[in-house]
């Protein structure tokens, strides 16, 4: 059986959600949740397919009267890295500056090069993204999210389409590069976050449950119980 | 080798079937001329057919070009606004729903019997597939991409020109390929309704004089012309297609 863990410390609240009803127009609501995320928290958001995990992330990004987000600097990573095939890896990393119409100065370029080195894509700067593997593309998206220096990182199963060894590599990279960042990572498989995230919350039809120790979900039985909302 | 076979085998088979029907059923040449008779006409009246073929080719190519540019431009103007799309879509659909045969006489009246009316008809027939395909391209941005770009806090204009427009290009090109296959309809209908040049005019002229072999020769040239225009369009568009197709 999973055990609830107490909040270790209460920092500044980055995101607070008050009685947010998740659902789609014309359909029964999926669930109603209240939640507060503090600066520096790194949380795995678990839940069954269709429980509303991705909808929650999308609602956080799009905004709602029930959500108070203390920052505009939010980065989002999904299964699809959203890379433009006609520009280089470097231009994809710098895409945020281009789309905001900001001038790219040498400081930004140096940082982009450094981040590409951090995600082990040194030498790929001028390659087209269409020539990269799935893992390499995910790392380009990771570098772009890091360059945005976001206060809140929302990850929607970013490694789901990758093979196991690439997933492990990506998890290690995230642990190293997202240290001190506030992270919410949606996942079906707690193993994707093991060794990186410690806390898990579970989204069920009866609301948000947790926080729990993520290590407790490595057992399939405990995970199934948790996903069914039978905590 | 396979490619050459792919082109020539169906043509050879078609000619063989055509020839067999003429011989087996002893069909008179003024109903269905044999392929050799058509080939002879093609050779003997090469200059005449070439002049008319050039007119039709020019109408198709210019119409395809103009219609594609206009279709793409209109789609770009309304692509970023759902309200503009809902206002203009009925007009666009009407422009396609009206058969070119129905509006051909009006276009003749307004633009005369020369090149302009045929160009207008071809442009009209090309315009809608290109507009509709490009609009589909604007709507095809995957939801997760949309969310990702939203977090980059883009300027609307920058997002349109830097992301949405290039991502719509493969859809536009697909529309251009469809349009290239239907563009000859506009040119030929225009020539039938009223003209003094072009393969459509030549076919009508030959028909009135019972020159079925010349009609068939014009038809063969029209088919070849349409096929060549489509092939060239296909080659050019596929080159850009690969560049802008996103890996989603």
Q: What is the pLDDT of residue A33?
A: 73
Confidence check: pLDDT of B73 > 90: yes
Average pLDDT, chain A: 80
> How many CA atoms lie within 13 Å of B226's alpha carbon, on the beta-carbon side?
18
Q: What is the pLDDT of residue A6?
A: 45
Residues of A in contact with B244 (CB under 8 A): 85-86
State the Cα–Cα distance between residues B163 and A170, nearest whole angstrom.
27
Which residue is associated with the tokens 């290690």?
A: A172
Helix (H, G, I), strand (E, B) or coil at A214: helix
Helix (H, G, I), strand (E, B) or coil at A218: helix
Report how far apart, in Å, the C-alpha atoms of B202 and of each of A139, B78, B112, B183 are: 63, 41, 19, 18
- Please determine, for the modelled complex, whether the ipTM score is greater than 0.85: no
Which residue is associated with the tokens 């008179």?
A: B28
Question: Tokens representing B83?
Answer: 């309200």
Instruction: Give per-residue pLDDT as tens, A166-213.
Output: 777 778 777 777 788 888 888 877 777 777 787 888 887 777 777 877
Residues of A in contact with B246 (CB under 8 A): 83-85
Q: What is the pLDDT of residue A30?
A: 73
- Answer whether 0.90 is exceeded by the pTM: no
Q: What is the pLDDT of residue A7?
A: 46
> How many CA atoms lie within 13 Å of B156's alpha carbon, on the beta-carbon side?
3
Average pLDDT, chain B: 89
DSSP-assigned beta bridge partners for residue A34: none
Q: Decide if B145 and A82 are in contact by the 8 Å CB cutoff.
A: yes
Alpha-helix runs per DSSP H in A69-191: 89-93, 95-100, 106-118, 134-147, 164-177
Residues of A in contact with B151 (CB under 8 A): 61, 74-76, 148, 150, 154
> How many CA atoms lie within 13 Å of B115's alpha carbon, on the beta-carbon side?
11
Instruction: Give per-residue pLDDT as tens, B141-185.
Output: 888 888 889 888 899 889 999 998 998 988 999 999 999 999 999
Among B44, B46, B65, smallest CA distance to B54 is for B46
Q: Decide if B144 and A83 are in contact by the 8 Å CB cutoff.
A: no
Instruction: Convert chain B into a string of H (helix), E (strand) and C (coil).
Output: CHHHHHHHHHHHHHHHHHHHHHHHCCCCCCCCCCHHHHHHHHHHCHHHHHHHHHHHHHHHHHHHHHHHHHHHHHHHHHHCCHHHHHHHHHHHHHHHHCCHHHHHHHHHHHHCCCHHHHHHHHHHHHHHHHHHHHHHHHHCCCHHHHHHHHHCCCCHHHHHHHHHHHHHHHHHHHHHHHHHHHHHHHHHHHHHHCCCCCHHHHHHHHHHCCCHHHHHHHHHHHHHHHHHHHHHHHHHHHHHHHHHCCCC
Report how far apart, in Å, the C-alpha atoms of B66 and of each of B63, B116, B179 are: 5, 12, 12
Question: Tokens representing B199?
Answer: 């393969």
**Contact call for residues A71 and A14 (beta carbons, < 8 A):** yes
Instruction: Give per-residue pLDDT as tens, A21-36.
Output: 777 777 777 777 778 8
Residues of A in contact with B153 (CB under 8 A): 72, 96, 99-100
Instruction: Answer left, alpha or beta for residue A60, where phi above 0 means left and psi between -120 and 50 means alpha.
Output: alpha
State the Cα–Cα distance between residues B16 and B8, nearest whole angstrom.
12
Domains in chain A, CATH or no CATH each? 9-73+150-231 (3.40.50.300), 83-149 (no CATH)
Q: Decide if B147 and A150 are in contact by the 8 Å CB cutoff.
A: no
- pLDDT grade for A228, boundaries at 50, 70 and 90: low
Distance in angstroms between the alpha carbons of the first and the last residue of chain B: 34
Q: Decide if B247 and A82 are in contact by the 8 Å CB cutoff.
A: no
Instruction: Give per-residue pLDDT as tens, B96-126.
Output: 888 888 888 898 889 988 899 999 999 999 9
**Contact call for residues A90 and A38 (beta carbons, < 8 A):** no
Nearest residue in B to A130, CA atom: B247
């Amino acid at each position: 059986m999973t055990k609830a863990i107490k909040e270790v410390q209460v920092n500044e609240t980055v995101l607070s959600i008050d009685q947010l009803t998740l659902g789609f127009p014309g359909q029964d609501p999926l669930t109603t949740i209240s939640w507060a995320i503090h600066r520096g928290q790194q949380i795995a958001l678990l839940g069954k397919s269709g429980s509303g995990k991705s909808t929650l992330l999308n609602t956080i990004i799009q905004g709602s009267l029930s959500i108070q987000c203390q920052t505009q600097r939010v980065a989002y990573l999904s299964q699809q890295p959203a890379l433009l095939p006609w520009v280089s890896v470097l231009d994809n990393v710098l895409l945020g500056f281009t789309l905001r119409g900001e001038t790219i100065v040498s400081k930004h370029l140096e940082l982009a090069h450094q981040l590409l080195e951090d995600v082990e894509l040194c030498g790929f700067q001028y390659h087209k993204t269409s020539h990269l593997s799935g893992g390499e593309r995910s790392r380009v998206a990771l570098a772009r999210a890091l360059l945005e220096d976001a206060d809140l990182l929302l990850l929607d199963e970013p490694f789901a389409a990758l093979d196991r060894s690439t997933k492990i590599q990506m998890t290690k990279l995230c642990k190293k590069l997202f240290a001190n960042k506030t992270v919410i990572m949606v996942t079906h498989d707690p193993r994707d976050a093991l060794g990186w995230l410690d806390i898990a919350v579970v989204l069920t039809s009866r609301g948000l449950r947790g926080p729990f120790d993520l290590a407790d979900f490595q057992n399939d039985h405990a995970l199934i119980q948790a996903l069914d909302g039978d905590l | 080798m396979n490619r050459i076979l792919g082109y020539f085998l169906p043509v050879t088979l078609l000619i063989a079937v055509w020839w067999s029907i003429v011989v087996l059923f002893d069909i008179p040449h003024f109903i269905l001329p044999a392929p050799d008779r058509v080939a002879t006409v093609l050779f003997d009246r090469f200059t005449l057919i070439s002049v008319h073929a050039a007119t039709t080719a020019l109408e198709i190519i210019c119409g395809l070009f103009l219609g594609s540019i206009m279709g793409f431009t209109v789609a770009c103007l309304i692509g970023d606004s759902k309200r503009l799309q809902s206002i203009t879509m009925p007009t666009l659909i009407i422009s396609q729903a009206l058969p070119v045969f129905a509006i051909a006489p009006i276009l003749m009246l307004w633009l005369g019997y020369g090149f302009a009316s045929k160009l207008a008809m071809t442009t009209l027939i090309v315009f809608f597939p290109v507009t509709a395909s490009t609009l589909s391209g604007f709507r095809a941005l995957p939801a997760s991409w949309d969310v990702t770009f939203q977090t980059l806090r883009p300027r609307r204009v920058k997002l349109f020109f830097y992301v949405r427009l290039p991502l719509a290009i493969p859809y536009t090109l697909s529309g251009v390929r469809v349009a290239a296959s239907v563009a000859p309809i506009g040119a030929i209908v225009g020539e039938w309704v009223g003209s003094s040049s072009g393969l459509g005019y030549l076919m009508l002229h030959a028909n009135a004089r019972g020159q079925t072999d010349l009609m068939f020769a014009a038809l063969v040239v029209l088919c070849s012309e349409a096929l060549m225009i489509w092939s060239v369009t296909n080659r050019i568009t596929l080159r850009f297609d690969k560049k802008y197709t996103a890996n989603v």
